[in-house]
Structure 1
Amino acid sequence: MSDAFTITDEQQDYSQYDLNANPFPYSPVPAEDPEIYCGQQHVSDKISSTVSSMLSTGKSKHLVVTGKYGNGKSHTLKYTRSLLRDRDDVVVGYVAQPGEGFLDIYHEFVYDLGFNRLQELAYEFLASVARDITDTNPIGASGMESLIDDGDVLLSEIVPEAIRRLSDVTKFADFARAIIHMVYEDTNLYAWQWLTAEGIRYEQRKEMEIHSALDDDTMGVRAFTALKNMLLELGYTGIFVFVDEFESIARLSPKDEQATLNSIRHLMDQNSSGLCMLFGCAPEVWQDVMSEYHAFSERIGEEVALKPLTSENLCELVRDYLDQERVTSAENEGIDPFSEEALDLILQRSQGNIRQVLSMCSRLLDDATESQENKITTAWVEEKL
């Protein structure tokens, strides 16, 4: 009896199309750091204006990016995030969806920053204190860590003053203690759990002299504001928060939805500088938010809508993906092996939905490769789709 199917790790050969590989994703989910952004100019302009305004003035500014499922909201947010991550004067965090309330948003944001980044910030703050009260001049987190590891600076010498200063800056003594405990080997995991709002036992809090639990939306707003104020004290321009799939708040009870929106509104009210929030949201949910929760929607003020792809957008998108895997110079290759007429049909079938376009192109290119087709034509697309 022959095998029912064959599994192999042998890659397909796309050399007949001058390609190293199929550049289109098999599962068109946005990459963590997208290299390609086929933007619509009005969207790019609005996002650039919002981000640049905060960077240049320090004043908080917020934006909602709307668009139907598959039209590129997540891709847009992740692409913008990837550009900002290259800067050393801001802290950037991504929230995949708002969860059950603001505390979940806070948790996901801090978790996206990561343990190591938060520990670096703790060392940076200690360095700023050490420069003032010791004869040392540590540069950055690594410089401070080295001085402590070498015994040139004793934690007992600078920690009390660091906690005092950070408490003054953040107006949140428990947050200050948790941040400073990120540098202690025996308590840094407890500190991390407290700072991410995962919850720790009373005994663990007592060991760090932390008196409160970070367990509700009000405390989440307070901790978020404390983190931002610490960053401004360290010389950062501010925080960028990307909240994706914001439409999922519509599945919450009316009470929980209002509580979540109120908490975000309070966060914005308490942070007139150093905060930029970008939301990705389905248009129908955002319309409901604007009509029912004026106090929240007025804080954001601006919305930009992603529209379905046009024929020109589609050609540019396909060309950019193909160029990633071109064996030789892509100068004259364009959209080959796709014909313009084939792309028009793909556009028609997908109704300009980017996710569907990428999925179709990926499948059609593989099918054409297996069948040794010279060109992906309208007839071929009609047959396969």
Structure 2
Amino acid sequence: MANPSKIGYLSGVSLLVAAMTGPGLVTVPLLFQTSGWITSLTILILVSLISSFSSLLLCEAIGSLPGNEKFTKRIEYSNLCEYLITNRYKRAFIQIIVYLAIESFIIASIILSAQSLDSLFVTFFGRTCGISISPDSGWLCTEELGDESSPFGNRWMLLTAGFMTTLVFVIPMTWMRLSNNAKIQIVSFTIIIFVIFAWAAALILHGVDPSRIPIIGENQSQSVGIVLFNYAFITAVPSLSNELEEDGSIRKIVWTATSISTFGYITLGILGAMAFDLDLSTNIVTSIRKSELRNTFFGFSTYLFPFILLISVPINVIVIRYNLVRTGFCGENLAIFSTILPWFLVIPFQSVEKQNMEKKNCMV
């Protein structure tokens, strides 16, 4: 009988798929347009294979530690660094890089989720409001969806209704155990599968033009960075393995999750690139909403996307907390700060231009 405090096959696959298919779903079509389909397909497949093998080799290394054959010691990614790297400065440097990498994914997810929820509020309630910093300061409401990702355009916003809604929903889930949160990820997984097929149908109905995707694009600078960013799930694998059911197969979970995620990236990447002319200020969500499909079933499916991001954010926050606590870097109470810090870091990046700067940095 399944142990309710452990992670099973379905919840494990759901957790890893959610960790891989957050902000990346809306950015991959731009990759196909700028880098070309040969480069994009090659890198997506190679990185998915490399990430899968790396994750499994990491599990082998953790499982080979004395007394941890069945992952009873709950060794995290940072713990393994302590075993293998004796120089404390190098070890600290690696742990800082890992922490920043996870935080960058969390920040990107929060931004896209908040912007999508603000757009949803405008559509269903006629407006969304927030506190503006510049160029207008004070309480500000907007009733229109512009061409940018955020209804507030390029204004500097301190808080928005979408941001606060994201905060209220996400923070309680970050205090859970990973095994409890993994069960919630089954809901996210179901939505992800539905959204992939709904968006694929919407893009086909809108009309696709293969000439929008070059064989080999003129700009290859973004190709490796954006794909690596999407497959940066390896730090979650040790935490997953520690809470996996005794008869669970981490190999089966990893290969299933990466296969599903890669299928989603390739499907939406090719169809999205053939359907719309994209740039750094737009993505397939905003493009579908501005198309003739915006008031159809397929158009409304775009409003499910922020809920995918909402549910997936806690995964990385929990992984950070586990690594901080189990390495002895800090106690449980201080580690809670790691669940709050990203929300402060998000504030300067809520405007469109700042978000695009962040995307560029992630792609380099």
TM-score, structure 1 as length reference: 0.24
Higher RCO structure, 1 or 2 (CA under 8 Å, sep 6+): 2
Greater helix percent: which structure? 2
Q: Select the structure of larger CA radius of gyration.
A: 1
